[in-house]
Every structure is written in structure tokens, then in C-alpha cells.
Amino acid sequence: MSERTLVKKLAEVVQQVKFIPKNGHNKFNNYKYATEADVNEKVREELATRHVMMIPNVKSHSIREHTNRKGNIEYIATVEVEFTFMDGESGETITFTTFGEGQDAGDKGTYKAITGAQKYALMKAFMIPTGDDPEADNGVDERNQGEQQPRRNTPDRKLSEAQIKRLFAIASSKGINAGDVKKGIIRDYKKTNAEDLTKKEYDELCNRLQSVKTEKNDPAYEPSDVEFDEMRKGS
């Protein structure tokens, strides 16, 4: 009888772990995902019965700042993690490397990145299906609650940073501060942020701002509610 090598033991795990359901649910973006706990539980038991361990080793780590849609600062951590399968019977090892990213407003970004790297390392090493196909964009469809999102210049496309800057630059040139522009967006378009305006609403607002006739060129000038209402209505 031939000796069971580490590769054979790992192949046995592939045979046993056929599928992992997506039991996790992201309430904010409304999509399902396979949790780290689900992946670990399935694989850990199969590895343990074969006396195989997987040891992580963080090879590199970086953090960058990111401003979210609400204007708050968050931190995105990126880690390069080396994973080693170790056979407790033969001492044989197999090593591979993967990456992970984690985003957090506090100090948990790195831990999220390591957790993500380990989850996907296990899923890819053992070719575990979850029903996702990156080329199918299923995840994007779920996160947008089944609505097709435009991918080119259509009226419903979200605004770019350059468009937002142009909007407030026009307002500033008319002596209208950003605070009043935002109040008008909330009141008239029922949107929390300028970024949420559609392209059609954006064009309409820019045109109305540009049409405002004022001699009040003082940058500190703030229009009255009546003046602002007239501007928003195109008067």
C-alpha cells in the first residue's frame, strides 16, 4: 500500500468539502456571502482528522486612508500572507501565498484583511464553490438589489469626484456656500449627498446655479432661504 503523502491528504479534503453555503448576510448592501466561520469549520475538521495543520505568516502589511461616501476617513489594510500546510505525520510541507484587504474606521482593518486572506486561501486551495462567478457579476447584482446598474454615461449613473467639485465651484462663483447647496439637494431631490444625484439632476442643478444672477461676489455671502429657493426652482 502506497504511503499517503501530504498532497494525497489535501486531495481527500477536496473530495470531502464539496460546497459551502452562503449563510452570511450583509444588511447594508443586501447580499449573501460565505462566512469565514463556515469555511473554517468545514475545512478544519477534515484537516485535523488527517493530522494536517495550516500555519499563516504575514509577509507584508500596508495601510492607506480612504474617504467614504459620507466624507468620513477609514483605513484600508492590505496584507500578504504566506500559508503553509504541515503534515504532522511525515513533516512534509506545502507553502503558498495570497493577499487580503480589510476596511475599518478604527484599528480592525488589519485583522479583517488577515481573516479575508485566510478564508479565500482555503476556498481556492480546496476549490470550494459558493455559487459565485466573478465574470457573472452576480455579487454586483445582489448588492444593487436586482437592479441593473448602468455602466456607461446614462442619466442614472452616480457622479464622479470631478463632477462634484464642478458643482460646488459653480455655486461658489455665485456666492453660494456648500452648506446651502447640500440643504437644497436634501430638500428638493430627497438625496443625502451630492454624490447620490443622477446625471440628469446634476445637469439641472448646474444649469440653475449658472443662471443665478447676482452681484454678491463676496465668497462669504450666504443667500437667504427665499433666494436659494428661487435659484433651485429656476426663477
Nearest alpha carbon to residue 131 among 21, 13, 29: 21
Task: Supply 216's cell numbers.
Answer: 454678491
**Is residue 121 a contact partner of residue 84, using CB atoms and an 8 Å limit?**
no
Q: Return d(Cα 93, Cα 87) in angstroms, integer.
A: 6
User: For the segment 65-81, what is each residue's pLDDT rounded down to a tens digit?
Assistant: 888 777 888 899 999 99
The total number of structural domains in the chain stands at: 2
Find which of 25-34, 38-47, 93-102, 131-140 is predicted with most confidence, using mean pLDDT.
Answer: 93-102
Q: Establish if 56 belongs to a structural domain.
A: yes
Structural domain including 72 reads 6-143
User: For the segment 91-113, what is each residue's pLDDT rounded down to a tens digit?
Assistant: 999 999 999 999 888 888 999 99
- 230: buried, middle or exposed (CB in 10 Å: 19+, 13-18, 0-12)? middle
Instruction: Decide if pLDDT at 25 tops 80.
Output: no
Which residue type does 115 have? T
pLDDT of residue 136: 55
Residue 178's pLDDT band (cuts 50, 70, 90): confident
Instruction: Decide if pLDDT at 82 tops 90.
Output: yes
Phi-psi region of 78 (alpha: psi -120 to 50; beta: other; left: phi over 0): beta
Q: Establish if 10 belongs to a structural domain.
A: yes
Q: Establish if 207 belongs to a structural domain.
A: yes
Are residues 165 and 119 both part of a single domain?
Answer: no
Q: Establish if 153 belongs to a structural domain.
A: no
For range 39-51, the mean pLDDT: 92
Nearest alpha carbon to residue 52 among 101, 91, 103: 91
Q: From edge to edge, which strands make up the β-sheet containing 73-87?
A: 52-67, 73-87, 93-104
For range 121-136, the mean pLDDT: 76
Are residues 132 and 188 both part of a single domain?
Answer: no
